[in-house]
Amino acid sequence: MSFAEEVQQYLEKGLKELGVSLTPEQAGKIVSFLSLLREFSEPLGLTAIKDPKEIAVKHALDSLSVVRHLPDKGPILDLGTGAGLPGMIIKIARPEQEVWLVDARKKPISFLTYAAGVLGLKDIRIIQATVGRKDPLPRGYFNCVVSRAVSELPLLWELASPLLKREGFLLAMKGPRAGEEIEAFEKKFPETIVDFKEFTLPITGDRRTLVFVKGSPSSGN
Ligand SMILES: C[S@@+](CC[C@H](N)C(=O)[O-])C[C@H]1O[C@@H](n2cnc3c(N)ncnc32)[C@H](O)[C@@H]1O
């Protein structure tokens, strides 16, 4: 069985478990993206994961698990997208929504620009910038900033909050032991509204936590 066929099988199985439905075109684009990722992974140092099952679960299904929690409309930013995770998968799952992928490093940004062209994705902005350091991103513009494996919550909130609309929120993708981090965050930022959801990934059963942070209406973020 080819890499793409194997990834597709795991993806189909996992989508059922997640309760997410994609069109055949969207599923095909995800498989194509993961195949490109595998091809360019070693030369560009993009991701250490090579096994089709792990790629399907830890990259695609983990990224897809946030889609139902995203706002239906309005721009979304993936802060520290690296090889496009979760942002590229979100863009494929939400083709009509404006999605921005931002990373400080040049190589992943070149890869993502190429991949977006191959996949024919529209309304996607792929930008090399270090968020927080004279970055060119618009302030108060995004309905959601999503981020995986970039930093602890306090720094993430400091970077994300100026970019969010008043009603926007940060969605931080965390591992199984986010409780202490959330508690410490709430003490440091008592003016924020924090919520979280724990779940297990399909197929592997790995535990994950999604953390949602909003500025309180009176704090102006
Ligand atoms: C461990 S990688 C995670 C990449 C991807 N989100 C994932 O889950 O596979 C962290 C990424 O965040 C990027 N990063 C860290 N701080 C950043 C900042 N302030 N602005 C933009 N990118 C940042 C790094 O360049 C790196 O690519």
Domains of the chain: 3-215 (3.40.50.150)
155 CB less than 6 Å from ligand 1? no
81 CB less than 6 Å from ligand 1? yes
Report residue 92's pLDDT band, with 50, 70 and 90 as the boundaries.
very high
d(CA 86, CA 80): 10
Model pLDDT for residues 132-146, shown as the tens digit of each residue: 989 999 999 999 999
Calculate how far, in angstroms, residue 134's C-alpha sits from the geometric centre of ligand 1: 17
**8-19 in b/e burial notation, b at 16+ Cβ within 10 A?**
bebbebbbeebe
Model pLDDT for residues 116-170, shown as the tens digit of each residue: 999 999 999 999 999 998 999 999 999 999 999 999 999 999 999 999 999 999 9
85 CB less than 6 Å from ligand 1? yes
Stretch 103-127: mean pLDDT: 97
Host H or E run for residue 181: helix 179-188
Calculate how far, in angstroms, residue 57's C-alpha sits from the geometric centre of ligand 1: 20
54, 76, 103, 145: residue to mutate for ligand 1 pocket, most atoms within 8 A of CB: 103
131 CB less than 6 Å from ligand 1? yes
The confidence score (pLDDT) of residue 195 equals 97
Q: Are strands 142-148 and 76-79 parallel, antiparallel or unpaired?
A: parallel
| Res 220 pLDDT > 70 | no
107 CB less than 6 Å from ligand 1? no
Model pLDDT for residues 27-81, shown as the tens digit of each residue: 999 999 999 999 998 888 787 778 999 999 999 999 999 999 999 999 999 999 9
Q: With CA atoms as reference, report the closest residue to 80 among 111, 116, 104.
A: 104
The confidence score (pLDDT) of residue 219 equals 58
Two tokens at 4? 């793409």
ipTM over 0.90 threshold:
yes
Percent of the chain with pLDDT over 90: 87
118 CB less than 6 Å from ligand 1? no
Amino acid code (one letter) for 147: S
From residue 161, give the alpha-carbon distance in Å to each of 50, 53, 216.
Answer: 34, 35, 11
Binding residue ranges for S-adenosyl-L-methionine: 80, 85, 148
